[in-house]
Chains A and B, each alone.
Chain A
């Protein structure tokens, strides 16, 4: 029997938020990210028989999602036509060498580094969230990532505020411990 099993009934519960965070950090649009995840799940259902169980379900879904993201960029790129590259260099002797300084503090490069670091940090956070009991993870996400009001969460999950704070407390301790090991 293979090490990993596949169960589409658990995909939303276990992977939807992880995949969403993975996608939005790459496409930067909420609606497109949701569409790509939906396509990923549908493609996953279609090719379930190809799942060999050598990698985890999450890794398998991510590999499908990566292809979907590449397809998305291919599609928008072909809609736009050929990519346009524009560079301006000063040809006059007076400005010789200026381009070097102009390019040293390349904002795009710094942004890319920041994005990469945020993506890695986001992955570390989700890895830690995965280790929490389901209820703790749900409450933590609603409160900390989505910034929902305490009252809204209590109504949504039918719990009391003191119950919520106990769950948050336990989740924060576990998250801090896990993040200390993996990141901080």
Chain B
């Protein structure tokens, strides 16, 4: 039990990344917290990663959905094609 609580730095980073999207389990979070107790690098990574998540959430930044982007691209291509054809 105690042995499985120890995880590598890479695994800790991976759990931390998943946590930003609420995709880590409780057990994984416990392992990450345990590692944070003795690893400064992990603590620094968690701190930075959390700040990034908070900044993005508070900015309410938006982007186009995949389908909206494709539609826009198709319309622009069509317009571009017409423009090329109209040129002498």
Give residues in A with beta carbon < 8 Å to B: 8-9, 11-12, 16-17, 20-21, 24-25, 34, 37-38, 41-42, 45, 118, 121-122, 125-126, 141-147, 150, 156, 165, 168-169, 172, 175-176, 179-180, 183-184
Pair B62/A121 contact, Cβ less than 8 Å: no
Pair B49/A179 contact, Cβ less than 8 Å: no
A121-B55, A143-B21, A150-B23 known; A176 vs B49 contact (CB < 8 Å): yes
- CB contacts (< 8 Å) of A146 on chain B: these are 63, 65
Q: CB of B85 within 8 A of chain A?
A: no
Chain B, Cβ-Cβ closest to A12: B73
How many Å lie between the Cα of A176 and that of B56 in the bound state?
11
Chain B, Cβ-Cβ closest to A144: B56
- CB contacts (< 8 Å) of B48 on chain A: these are 176, 180
Complex partner residue of B49 from A37, A143, A172, CB under 8 angstroms: A172
Pair A179/B52 contact, Cβ less than 8 Å: yes
How many Å lie between the Cα of A38 and that of B73 in the bound state?
9
How many Å lie between the Cα of A16 and that of B64 in the bound state?
8
A34-B72, A176-B48 known; A125 vs B61 contact (CB < 8 Å): yes
How many Å lie between the Cα of A105 and that of B60 in the bound state?
24
DSSP majority for the A interface?
Answer: helix
Interface flags, B26-68, vs A, CB<8A=1, else 0: 0000000000000000000000110111011011111111101
Q: CB of B3 within 8 A of chain A?
A: no
For the complex of A and B, 6 pairs with smallest distance between CB atoms: A121-B59, A17-B63, A122-B61, A12-B73, A176-B48, A176-B52
Complex partner residue of A165 from B17, B68, B69, CB under 8 angstroms: B17
Chain A, Cβ-Cβ closest to B77: A9
- CB contacts (< 8 Å) of B61 on chain A: these are 21, 121-122, 125-126, 145
Q: CB of B8 within 8 A of chain A?
A: no
- CB contacts (< 8 Å) of A165 on chain B: these are 14, 17-18
A45-B83, A118-B58, A172-B52 known; A21 vs B63 contact (CB < 8 Å): yes
Chain A, Cβ-Cβ closest to B76: A41
Query: Can you list 16 pairs linking A and B with CB atoms under 8 Å apart?
Result: A11-B76, A12-B73, A20-B63, A21-B62, A21-B63, A42-B76, A118-B59, A121-B55, A122-B61, A125-B61, A144-B20, A146-B65, A165-B14, A172-B49, A176-B52, A183-B55
